[in-house]
């Protein structure tokens, strides 16, 4: 489904704008499991551990109808959807399928920027086959993915990365959305700010208290007001509210780190609570690491105390960390080094850095990480 008809994308080229496609596989991990096991089709499926400390890595659309989401504790997911079926992750299979999909991308352009196993940006301003229309290329890519992998993908087409990513989420699953030159600001300002990449639940809550619910509300604020309330994040918000994004699609780059952090609904201080929370974070962050195909040598534990002071402790090994068990052991050791804590904490996070893997999108701000909840 296209937002508007886009038969030749001529205006973008005439205006010197880029033709960007963002392709995002639909419930990728869960869809692979349903593809390979017909008994799972049409049923609520979650990829991840089903134990008391397990975490949902991905959920099928049937499960999402019940409120099941990635990064959700498995016990919570099971409570929301009693018939939920858990599957163990098979990252070797997901990687193999991802390589098939990337080969399809590179049939059309060499300017492919993978963000993870299941999504990527493509710059098709000068496509290899001379098709000329980014919309037509996106349609062909989706058709080829379905034919070769039996999976569906959604795509967004626009003149910059920020808009293309928003567009790919607009008509999910198995959808297509096009935002043409001149329509970006209007499209963005019609959206709730929680749709903006980088604005998590806490950020959206803060904005709501300041009277900002939509992109239009955000666009009404000047840069000085935004800087006063959001600091270094203000410049990104100012541009995003106007549909501005000058970042190029980069086919090769080194990502600095992969990580995640969790802000608690109440302050934590006891060793047993902190250890249990760390196990949840290990599960989720290792999922991010595998999804990003990252290999790194440094694990960093970050904590924010109730007085908002941030403390971190890191450990580096002499070779890339091999597996989740080694990552978990290093993470646990870092926590034990700082126990007992001098005061309760309100946030905990883990990061893998000194990476050896190329690819991925850089964060919108220097300290940006994925919010776990």
User: According to the annotation, is 24 in a ligand binding site?
Assistant: yes
Is residue 119 flagged as an active site residue? yes
pLDDT of residue 359: 41
Output phi, psi for 314, to 5 deg.
-130, 155
Rounded (to 5) percent helix, strand, coil in the chain: 40, 20, 40
Can you give the pLDDT of all 373 residues of the chain as single tens digits? 334 333 345 445 445 689 999 999 999 999 999 999 999 999 999 998 776 667 888 999 999 999 999 888 888 999 999 999 999 989 899 999 999 999 999 999 999 999 989 999 999 999 999 999 999 999 999 999 999 999 999 999 999 999 999 999 999 999 999 999 999 999 999 999 999 988 988 889 999 999 999 999 999 999 999 999 999 999 999 999 999 999 999 987 667 889 988 888 789 999 999 998 999 899 889 988 888 888 899 999 999 998 889 999 999 999 999 899 999 999 999 999 999 999 999 899 999 998 874 444 433 333 334 444 3
CA dihedral angle for residue 307, residue 338, residue 268, residue 331, rounded to 10 degrees: 120
Give the contacts of 270 (CB within 8 A, at least 6 positions apart): none
Of the listed 62, 119, 144, 261, which one is catalytic? 119
Residue 302's CB: how many other CB atoms inside 10 A?
20
Q: The pTM is what?
A: 0.77
Answer yes or no: is 118 a known binding residue: yes
Specify which residues 122 forms β-bridges with: 21, 112
- Say if residue 2 is exposed, middle or buried (CB neighbours under 10 Å; 0-12, 13-18, 19+): middle
Q: What is the DSSP string of 170-212?
A: TT-SS-EEE--TT-HHHHHHTSBGGGSTT--HHHHHHHHHTT-
């Amino acid at each position: 489904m296209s937002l508007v008809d886009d038969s030749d994308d001529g205006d973008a080229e005439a205006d010197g704008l880029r033709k960007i496609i963002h392709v995002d596989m639909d419930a990728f991990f869960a869809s692979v499991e349903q593809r390979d096991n017909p008994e799972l089709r049409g049923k609520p499926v979650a990829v991840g551990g089903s134990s008391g400390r397990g975490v949902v890595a991905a959920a099928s659309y049937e499960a999402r109808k019940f409120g099941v989401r990635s990064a959700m504790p498995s016990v919570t997911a099971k409570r929301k959807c009693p018939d939920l079926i858990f599957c163990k992750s098979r990252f070797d299979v997901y990687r193999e399928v991802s390589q098939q999909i990337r080969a399809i991308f590179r049939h059309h352009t060499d300017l492919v920027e993978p963000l993870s196993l299941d999504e990527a940006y493509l710059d098709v301003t000068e496509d290899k086959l001379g098709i000329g229309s980014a919309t037509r290329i996106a349609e062909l890519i989706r058709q080829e993915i379905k034919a070769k992998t039996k999976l569906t993908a959604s795509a967004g087409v626009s003149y910059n990365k920020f808009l293309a990513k928003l567009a790919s989420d607009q008509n999910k699953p198995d959808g297509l959305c096009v935002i043409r030159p001149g329509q970006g600001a209007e499209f963005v300002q019609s959206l709730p700010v929680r749709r903006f990449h980088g604005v998590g639940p806490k950020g959206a809550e803060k904005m709501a208290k300041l009277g900002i619910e939509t992109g239009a509300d955000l666009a009404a604020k000047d840069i000085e007001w935004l800087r006063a309330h959001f600091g270094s994040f203000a410049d990104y918000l100012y541009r995003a509210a106007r549909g501005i994004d000058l970042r190029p699609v980069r086919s090769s780059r080194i990502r600095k780190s992969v990580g995640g952090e969790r802000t608690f609904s109440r302050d934590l201080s006891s060793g047993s609570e902190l250890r249990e929370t760390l196990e949840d974070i290990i599960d989720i962050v290792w999922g991010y690491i595998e999804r990003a195909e990252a290999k790194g040598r440094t694990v960093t534990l970050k904590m924010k105390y109730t007085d908002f002071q941030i403390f971190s402790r890191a450990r580096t090994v002499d070779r890339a960390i091999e597996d989740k068990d080694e990552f978990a052991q290093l993470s646990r050791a870092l926590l034990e080094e700082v126990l007992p804590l001098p005061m309760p904490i309100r946030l905990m996070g883990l990061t893998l850095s000194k990476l050896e893997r190329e690819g991925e999108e850089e964060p919108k701000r220097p300290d940006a990480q994925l919010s776990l909840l």
